Amino acid sequence: MRSGKLIRYGLVAAVVLLVGIGLWQTRRGARRGAAVLVREPARVMGTTCTLTAVPGPEGVASAEAALRDAEAALRAVEARMSVWIAGSEISRFNQAPAGEDVALSADTLEVLRAARRGAVQTRGAFDVTCGPLIELWRRAGSLDRLPTEAELAGARAASSWRLVHLDEDGARKDSGEARVDLGGIAKGYGTDRAVESLRRAGVEAGVVDVGGDLRCFGHPPDKDRWPVDIRDPFRPGTIGALLVGDAAVCTSGNYARFAVIEGKRYSHIIDPRTGSPAEAAPSVTVVAPTAMAADMWATALSVLGREGLPLLPAGMEALLVLGTPEEPRIVCTPGAVELLEASFAAHVEVHRPSE
Ligand code: AMP
Ligand code: MG
């Protein structure tokens, strides 16, 4: 049974690598000859994963090894930071009693520190200490029952950076109830680590795509930028495509992950200001220099909506899909319009900084 499974995975990986060599040709046409390697590991961070590499002077075998190392980098981040893995550092921290010093790796502390800075930058919209609220709404989804006022008040009181303290080599909390959830940022961090690993190995260009959140570097062999489709949150298909070079593109939306409670659909993103699921934007796409920043801001703007655009740091762009399935509206920062494929740019509303 186990070896059967291994053989099956092995075969899938081999087929994917071979098929991948032709991928960009089939998707965008035009190119002949140059090899593009694609690796599609089974389920990483709870989602699909596609790693693409344009081999550098070191050659194909070296690029294949680099892809394996990039996958390992993603899995290492998942093993440390996932709330779904019982022995992860974050799970150990969440289970610890008040006052206990929990040792954490430099990587996990780096993400927690970035998240703490993010909470300030986003005026509290991005808040990884919302673990108790996230768990409460997740449970409400599986029980199909809205939380009671008392449950909400309890979870809100336990969701705060005031209860979580980071030090040099670990963290501690003031309440046994406090919990952190890195689901809105760790995928981006892992993607950055995977890209670093590909670059270090001499890969010339590539894409690390984890469930549609991705970071590109260099350019495809036949084009000067990578095409990145943006899904339509209201119906199957896309609403447009961005063309990017060295950049990360992350999308948060309620089309992919949501709960239906008592007949109403709720986002998996919590608005820390109210303690309830966010409703500001059906889909938010952020383009940033790092995937960690793009991941964090996509989650934050899902809470803040259009009002949050003035907070977006320089060098980052956003595209929001607002409105309803009957009347969708696309709002973009001026820089995002520049990145849109020309045929889509005509349909968007540009948010000017003064608005
Ligand atoms: P994303 O799909 O990147 O927007 O991340 C969503 C995930 O982030 C959720 O499933 C939660 O694990 C976590 N999350 C939910 N709300 C927030 C929030 N306001 N700030 C930070 N993380 C959140
Ligand atoms: Mg995110």
Per-residue pLDDT of the chain in tens (355 residues, 90 and over written 9): 344 444 344 433 433 343 343 344 333 333 334 579 999 999 999 999 999 999 999 999 999 999 999 999 999 999 999 999 999 999 999 999 999 999 999 999 999 999 999 999 999 999 999 999 999 999 999 999 999 999 999 999 999 999 999 999 999 999 999 999 999 999 999 999 999 999 999 999 999 999 999 999 999 998 999 999 999 999 999 999 999 999 999 999 866 678 889 889 899 999 999 999 998 899 999 999 999 999 999 999 999 999 999 999 999 999 999 998 898 899 999 999 999 988 777 778 999 876 5
Measured CA to CA in angstroms, residue 100 lies from 93, 130, 176 at distances of 9, 20, 9
Q: From the CA of 204, how far away is ligand 1's center (Å)?
A: 33
Predicted confidence at residue 5, as pLDDT, reads: 42
Q: From the CA of 299, how far away is ligand 1's center (Å)?
A: 6
Measuring CA to CA, which residue among 193, 235, 52, 219 is closest to residue 227?
219
CA nearest ligand 1 atom 3, residue = 184
Angle (CA) 89 90 93, round 5°: 90
Q: From the CA of 4, how far away is ligand 1's center (Å)?
A: 36
Structure tokens at 126: 């991005």
Predicted confidence at residue 342, as pLDDT, reads: 82
Predicted confidence at residue 148, as pLDDT, reads: 97
| β-pair type (349-350, 328-332) | parallel
Predicted confidence at residue 174, as pLDDT, reads: 98
Task: Give the pocket of ligand 1 (CB within 6 Å).
Answer: 126-128, 130, 134, 181, 183-184, 252, 268-270, 272, 295, 298-299, 302-303
What does the CA dihedral 189, 104, 66, 256 come to, rounded to 10 degrees?
-40
Predicted confidence at residue 272, as pLDDT, reads: 97
Predicted confidence at residue 344, as pLDDT, reads: 76
Predicted confidence at residue 347, as pLDDT, reads: 78
Question: What sections of 223-340 are H helices per DSSP?
Answer: 291-304, 334-339
Predicted confidence at residue 34, as pLDDT, reads: 56
Predicted confidence at residue 18, as pLDDT, reads: 36
